[in-house]
Structure formats: structure tokens, C-alpha cells
Structure 1
Amino acid sequence: MDPFLGRGLFLGMPPLFTIFFLFILGLIIFSIIQSAKNYHKNATSPILTQHARLVAKRTEVRHYTHHTSDNNINGSSITYYYATFETDAGQRFELTLSGKEFGLLSDGDVGELTYQGEWFKAFKREMY
């Protein structure tokens, strides 16, 4: 008789559940690794300052619904703020900003943009 028979992690669970569980676990691990790689890439990028113009701003609102045990539905949302800048060389890139930084910028603003990888650091508007 197999000494490990009856001691398995997924004992008594249907094989489909085991496959589904392992798939979800794999997705979570993959997501964590991708996030860590992206963070490392940005953290090791040089901090650059370039003359740039704000081309466009946009927001993205993500809604979340939570079901409570007493059959109530609670909702919440998170707003993400983005700004697209264009350098004098014609390079365009989009950076994520905080709501406060987003509110201080207007389309067409020109100035010195400081960023690190995909991280927005600062924007000093030129005074006309």
C-alpha cells in the first residue's frame, strides 16, 4: 500500500477543482513576479528631466462591488489619473499621476518634466 495514500493536499477533491486551484495559484504567482519586475525596472531607471509639453490628460475609474452576508451590495471605485507628455524630440509617453498633480496640469502646458521609468516625479511649468 502507498504510504502517502490519503495524505495528499487535495484528498477527496475532484480533479477539476485541483486543476482550477493550481491555475489560479499560478496566475497569482505570475502577477506578483510581473509586478516585482516592473517595480525593479522603474526603481533602477535613471531619473530624467526633459523639456516636454502636456499633450493629453485622462482618467480611468474602476468600480468594485462587494456583496455582504446580509445580502446588501456595497460599491466602491478607484480613479487613476494619467498624463501624456511629448518631448522636443517627438517622443510621447504616458505617466500615472496623483489626483493632486493631475488637477494642477492643463493640456498644452510646457515645462521641465522629471520622471523615472514610468513614474512621474515632477513637472515645472514654464512661465510665459
Structure 2
Amino acid sequence: MGMGSDPSWMFDLTGTVIPIFLVVMIGIVAVTAGRGLFQWSRNNSSPLLTIPARIVSKRSEVRQQQLQDDSQSSRTSTTYYLTYELQDGERMEFKVDGSEFGMSAEGDRGLLTYQGTRYHGFQRHPNYSTAE
């Protein structure tokens, strides 16, 4: 099978297409793993900061996955996010667990603790009304 007048050598499944597919897939996995490792390393080298902040937004993302075994079954997962505004006006969004999301309200003020892109918690300051 040379490169003569027969163009079928270009579409040889086991000799051309599968190796190219495998190289592309391995490349995608390597790039994704490298990004994750780089972000993990950057977070570890960042200082742990605790600063005043205010919750300005809440959002949730619901994903539904159809199970292959049974067309009637599906799996649903929900991811929760809180957006905080710092005193300088910068906004940061973090993924939080469901209980943290449920206990939070837009407008809550307190101390945000984070390290790079890693969320460590939010301690709310109670608001006392002066109205009688």
C-alpha cells in the first residue's frame, strides 16, 4: 500500500484514522490534566485571604443525564454558585455546597475566606435593625 495512484491508502482505518484519533484524545486528556495541575499548584502558592465581602448573586446549574440502561431513568445533579463583591468592587464567584447555598441570601455581609480560586468559607455578620 504505497502512495501510488490508489487513494484508498489515505482512508485506511487501522493504519491512519485510529492512530490519529488516539493521538488527539491523548492530547486532550494531557492538556486537561495539565490545566488542572497548574490551577492546583497556583492555588497552593496563593495566600489564604479573609476579607470583607457581600453576596451579590446566587445561581444554580442543573444537569440531567439520561442513563443508558433504561430510557426511562435519568440522573440529575445540581451545582451551586455564590458571587461575592469585595470592598474594591471586584466580584468573585465560587462553587459551594447545597447547605451553604441554602443558608445564604443576596445582600449578606461578612468575611470571605479563599485561596486563589479555592473557596474556604463565608462567615456572615448578623444585621441588626435599628428601626422600631
- Per the normalisation by structure 2, the TM-score is 0.79
Report what 2:124 is aligned to.
Answer: 125
Task: Report the Cα distance in structure 2 between the residues aligned to 1:25 and 1:65, rounded to whole angstroms.
Answer: 27
Report what 1:27 is aligned to.
Answer: 28
Task: Report the Cα distance in structure 1 between the residues aligned to 2:75 and 2:15, rounded to whole angstroms.
Answer: 35
* Structure number with higher strand proportion: 1
* Structure number with higher helix proportion: 2
Please give the root-mean-square deviation of Cα atoms over the aligned residues, in Å.
1.5
Q: CA deviation at 1:48?
A: 0.4
Q: Deviations over 1:20-76 (max 9, x none)?
A: 1211111011111111111111122111011111000101122223313xxx23421
Residue 65 (structure 2) pairs with residue 56 (structure 1): no
What stretches of structure 1 move > 6 A for 4+ residues in a row?
none
Residue 42 (structure 2) pairs with residue 41 (structure 1): yes
Report what 1:8 is aligned to.
Answer: none
Report what 1:7 is aligned to.
Answer: none
Report what 2:110 is aligned to.
Answer: 111
Q: Which amino acid aligns with 1:48?
A: L
Task: Report the Cα distance in structure 1 between the residues aligned to 2:34 and 2:63, rounded to whole angstroms.
Answer: 23
Rg: which structure is higher? Answer: 2
8 Å contact kept, 1:62–1:78: yes
Q: Helix, strand or coil: the match of 1:13?
A: helix
8 Å contact kept, 1:115–1:121: yes
Q: Helix, strand or coil: the match of 1:82?
A: strand
Q: Gaps spanning 5+ residues in structure 2: where?
A: 1-12, 128-132
| 1:63-78 equivalence runs, <5 A | 63-68=64-69, 72-73=70-71, 74-78=73-77
Q: Which amino acid aligns with 1:93?
A: M
Q: Deviations over 1:79-116 (max 9, x none)?
A: 11111100111111111111111111101101111111
Q: Which amino acid aligns with 2:93?
A: E
Distance 1:66 1:21, change over 3 A: farther
Report what 2:18 is aligned to.
Answer: 17
Task: Report the Cα distance in structure 2 between the residues aligned to 1:100 and 1:39, rounded to whole angstroms.
Answer: 25
- Per the normalisation by structure 1, the TM-score is 0.81
